[in-house]
């Protein structure tokens, strides 16, 4: 088996599908490991639900044997939270981007 990447560049649904394939987990098995419903997981994968909370992402990461940071959406939230605490930096970055 190929070495698993530390971080996914793909969206949550694509990442979950890839990890399910790599680990051989079905929706039902993933539901049992995460204490979430298989239907809810299916909705997440197909983009019919908003990105779940960091707690849910952590449960998914644990079930897949990766760190929560593996999910791009988790990393974006962490960065956003940090940036909200640094408005001066945000202003400087915004000026550079403009």
pLDDT, tens only, 33-63: 999 999 999 999 999 999 999 999 999 999 9
What is the model's pTM? 0.84
CB 35 within 8 A of CB 55: no
How many residues are there in the chain?
A: 98
What DSSP character marks residue 68?
G
């Amino acid at each position: 088996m190929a070495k698993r990447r530390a971080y996914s560049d793909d969206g949550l649904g694509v990442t979950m599908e890839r990890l399910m394939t790599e680990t051989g987990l079905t929706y039902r098995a993933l539901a049992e490991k995460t204490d979430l419903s298989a239907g809810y997981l299916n909705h997440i994968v197909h983009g019919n639900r908003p990105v779940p909370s960091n707690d849910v992402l952590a449960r998914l990461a644990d079930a897949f044997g990766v760190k929560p940071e593996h999910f791009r959406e988790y990393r974006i939230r962490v960065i956003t939270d940090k940036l909200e605490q640094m408005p001066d930096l945000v202003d400087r970055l915004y000026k550079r981007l403009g």
